[in-house]
Structures are given as C-alpha cells and as structure tokens.
Amino acid sequence: MSAAGEERRAPDCFRCRAFFVTYEPARPYGCRTFAFSSAHLPCDTVRLSSGQECSAFEAKPEGARHPKSKPRS
C-alpha cells in the first residue's frame, strides 16, 4: 500500500495507448513505446526484465476505439 492508503496496481496494457495486438501466435502482444512484442503482456515483460512496474503507461482517451472497429450494439 502507498502512503495514502491506496493499493498501487500494475498498469493495464489494454488501456494503454502504446499497446497493440500483433496477430503473431508466438508473440501476440506488443508495446509501441518500448518497441517489442511478446508472448506475455508488455507490463509483465517490463516487470520481469527490470524489476519495476511499467513507467511508460499512457491511458487511452475515454471512449477511444480503433477506427476500423465496429460500434458495439
């Protein structure tokens, strides 16, 4: 827990602007900021390699969707 009494959580890659899906079966997840793809979520790869939580997390704007995605019904 932090000094303010709130639990600090790892960044959610699915809500990060730099996260992308590669569609490569061996390395399906990628991070544009660190320029890599991995079999694991980028935040997990960063934590395993550096020992620290990802500091490059940048939240997507609320309601942001990929331009080619279909609206939800």
**What are the tens digits of pLDDT across the range 41-52?**
999 999 999 999
Q: Which long-range contacts (CB under 8 A, 24 or more apart) does 10-14 make?
A: 10/43, 10/44, 10/47, 10/53, 10/54, 11/43, 11/53, 11/54, 11/57, 12/43, 13/41, 13/42, 13/43
Residue 25 covered by a domain: yes
Residues sharing a CB contact under 8 Å with residue 38, sequence separation 6 or more, in sequence order: 27, 29, 30, 45
Residue 41 lies in a domain: yes
pTM (2 d.p.): 0.70
In a domain, 57, yes or no: no
pLDDT for 39 equals 95
For residue 45, give its domain range: 19-50
Residue 67 lies in a domain: no
> Is 8 domain-assigned?
no
Count of domains forming the chain: 1
